[in-house]
Structure 1
Amino acid sequence: MNVQFKKGALELLVLLIISRQDQYGYSLIQIMTQKITISEGTIYPLLRRLVKEEYLNSYYEPSKEGPSRKYYAITIKGNERLKELTREWNMFTESINSFMEESDVHE
């Protein structure tokens, strides 16, 4: 998959996944890598930025396997951002799909 496509969609994907259930960094990566290839080095800076911008909150929970884990939860502001990004994504993909339908390019 094109790196730039992924980069543009990561914020949307992170907010979407965390809106369903609070996640810690590694669990988020595990969920995402079931469908796309990403690296830890991409996700952790994004999580820090989303916390700084108040789209996510973080908190620690004890872990049975070792030290406490830092979980991320979506905020009200984050849900608003998710709705905005979803609208933008839908408009973008509809536009691209209309061009694809008009062209002779096939998979």
Structure 2
Amino acid sequence: MTKGYWIVRVDVADPERYKAYIAANAAPLKEYGARFLVRAGRFENPEGSSRPRNAVIEFPSYQAALDCWHSPQYQEAMQLRLPVSTADVVIIEGYEGPQPE
């Protein structure tokens, strides 16, 4: 089964209120088997645009990534984020094909 990922880039306008979103999203992320691979660490942006906060979240499957996003619990948590941030979110299927040698 191919893993699924959320690739997230966020501008946070109110960090204190954003903390409520972080607390609220923990339960649905856990329920759907999410694991942070990248979470707001140092980064360089050598090409294109960026946002100051970035995350890559791995799910056990692409379907789990979609189901988490669409779950009532995550949608409720997201309502805490919307007034205090702007985000770009991509939900993408993992790749298990050939790699560079």
Structure 1 and Structure 2 fold alike (TM over 0.5): no
- Flag the structure with more relative contact order, 1 or 2, with Cα contacts below 8 A and sequence separation at least 6: 2
Whose radius of gyration is greater, 1 or 2? 1
State the TM-score bracket (shorter-chain normalisation).
0.3 to 0.5
Kindly indicate which of the two structures has a greater share of residues assigned to helix.
1
Q: What's the TM-score once normalised by structure 1's chain length? A: 0.31
More strand by share: 2
